[in-house]
Amino acid sequence: MDQNWLSAAGVAIDLAGFLVLLREWWLAFFHETTTAALAQRRAWERSVRHHHHTHASDQLRGHLETAARIQDEMAQRNDHNLHMATLQSRKRMFVLATVLILVGGLMQLAGTIPVKLF
């Protein structure tokens, strides 16, 4: 009787692990979508800056180039920090899902092993 409960608990833990893995895949999908949107936004910002640069006076061009470089560097740092935070979250979700799936599978296996009764 205890083995049946062990098997049922194993299936529940296995399902929980699979659901956590689905959440990780969901995060991956939205991360890729966000990354693509950020790249498109950065390209648009560079295009606007280029337009301003071409219509600026010679005195203003040096300032605009420096400001553009600083903005690009800040945007790169922010994008990198966001990317690393998302990867950390995804890593935790993946490890948790893996542990749950393995424990659930082992519990199911333990629940199916025949026990000798004396």
- CA 30, 13, 3 angle in degrees (round to 5)? 165
Spatial CA neighbour of 31 closest among 87, 69, 74, 70: 87
Cα–Cα distance measured from residue 101 to residue 16, given in angstroms and rounded to the nearest whole number:
8
Q: Are 101 and 35 within 8 A, CB to CB?
A: no
The residue ranges of DSSP E strands in 18-98, in sequence order, are none
Q: Where are the domains of the chain?
A: 2-111
Share of the chain above pLDDT 70, in %: 97
User: What pLDDT digit, counting tens, does each position of 36-87 carry?
Assistant: 888 898 889 888 888 877 878 888 888 888 888 898 899 899 989 988 998 8
One-letter amino acid for residue 77 of the chain: R
Q: Confidence band (pLDDT; 50, 70, 90) for 14?
A: very high
